[in-house]
Amino acid sequence: MSSAGTDLFRRLELEDNEILKELDSVHGDNEKTLEIYAKRASLYQRFATETTDPIIQQIILIRHDIVLLFSALTNTRHELQTDIARLTSRMDELDSKQSSQ
């Protein structure tokens, strides 16, 4: 790999680590988590355009896709947890109603 490619990956890693620090501070706020993943995806997209080397570009774009997939999985997990909490609450309500009768 050329030194330009190595430099590009180092800069990408540094900027990505700064964004990941933000992720550590959101603690369960799904909306902010998704915003941070969008920021990471944009970062990877931007860095992919900074090189003309097709191999380096593809590596960065694959990492971009992984960030998008992880974002989708995180959102799906949140939706499932919300649905489970709603169902559990409903079941508790029904149990309470049956117990009081």
Q: Under a CB-based contact definition with an 8 Å cutoff, are residues 39 and 62 in contact? A: no
Dist. CA 90–CA 94, nearest whole Å: 6
Structure tokens belonging to residue 77: 């997990």
Give pLDDT tens digits for 1-52: 678 789 999 999 999 999 999 988 988 899 999 999 999 999 999 999 999 9
Domain tally, the chain: 1
pTM for the full predicted model: 0.80
Tell me which residue range forms the domain holding 85: 3-100
